[in-house]
Amino acid sequence: MRRLGHRAPREEGDGELAATVEGYLLAHSHQEQARREAESLCARMPWLTTAQAEDVSRHYVRQRIVLTRQMLRSTVERADQLRQEYEERYAALRRDLLKRHAACASAVLACAVAVSTAASLFSR
C-alpha cells in the first residue's frame, strides 16, 4: 500500500518518454483539429461529391499539418536562440558579480590590514 506523500523513484527515461507521449498527443490533437476544419469547409460546399470532399479534406489536412510543423519548428528554433542568449547573459552577469565580490573582498581585506597595522603602531 502506498502512502500519500511517497513517490516511486523516477527512472532516467521517464522524461524522454513523457516528452514523446506529449508530442504524440499534441500531433494527434492538431490532426484532429485539421480534420474537423476540413469537414467544416467541405460542409460549406454542398456541390462537392463525396470523393471530391474527401480529396479536399485530405489536401487540407496535409497542408495544415505541414504549416503546423513549420510553425513548431520555428518556435523551437526561436526558443533555442533565446535560451542561448539568456545563458550567455547569465554567464556575463555571474562573471561581473564575481569580479565585484572579489574587488569588495580585496578592499575589506586591505582596510583590515591597514587598521591592524595602525593599531599595532599606536599600541607601541
DSSP tag of 49: -
Which residues does 41 contact at the CB level (< 8 Å), separation at least 6? 56, 57, 60
Average pLDDT over residues 91-95: 97
Domain locations in the chain? 16-122
Q: What is the mean pLDDT of the chain?
A: 90
Task: Tell me the C-alpha to C-alpha distance, in Å, between residue 24 and each of 31, 58, 113, 121.
Answer: 11, 20, 66, 78
What would the pLDDT profile of 8-54 be if each residue is shown by its tens digit? 555 667 889 998 999 899 989 999 999 999 999 999 999 999 999 99
Average pLDDT over residues 43-71: 94
Q: What is the reported pLDDT for 14?
A: 81
Record the cell numbers describing residue 120, joined without a space.
599595532
